[in-house]
Amino acid sequence: MWQSSSIANTDHAKAMRIERIITIVVISLVVVETVLVVMALVPAQVWSSLLPQSTTATLDGPFPPAVAPIITALLYLAPGVIGLLCRSWQRALLYATLPAWIGLGLFLVAATFRIGIFYLVGPDHVTTHVSMLELFALLGGMGWLARTVLKLS
């Protein structure tokens, strides 16, 4: 009797450690994705003025051309991995779209200083921003669905 209780406690402790590691990975992915989204939303003119010695700053931002495809892949893969690691679809969608919400919010505040308050409600801008949120939500949802299909606990 005592031995089975000890095994159950060990299994519970192991499960809690795994859950803690998954939580740390999800938070880390959200932070990395947020940084990448914010950097991607910086206009090319800003990168070329900040990095005048770089010939590819207007195309690749602060990243060397060899690394730029990896950054693009991370922008698409991270929301799906975040969704895959979340147990509930609500968390999957929230955590997958959180970087887009933060990045777009910072971008819109910065754009307001330069262009004006009505930048946000311009028809072409609203469509672009909503499409970005939809993309991240879709990728996070697909990750969560993959988790459900694969029956990950």
Tokens of 10: 């060990």
- State residue 1's pLDDT score: 47
Residue ranges of domains in the chain: 2-150
Do the beta carbons of residue 3 and residue 38 sit within 8 Å?
Answer: no
Closest to 29 in 3D by CA, of 87, 89, 74: 74
- pLDDT at position 7: 61
pTM over 0.85: no
Residue owning tokens 């090319």: 44
Q: What angle do CA 112, 100, 103 make, to 5 degrees?
A: 40
What distance in Å separates the CA atoms of residue 124 and residue 126, rounded to the nearest whole number? 6
**pLDDT for 85:** 95
The 10 Å Cβ neighbour count of residue 67 is 11
**pLDDT tens, N- to C-terminus, the chain (153 residues):** 455 556 667 777 888 999 999 999 999 999 999 999 988 888 777 777 887 887 777 777 788 888 888 988 999 999 999 999 999 999 999 999 999 999 888 888 887 777 777 766 677 767 777 888 899 999 999 999 999 898 865
Give the per-residue pLDDT at 40: 84
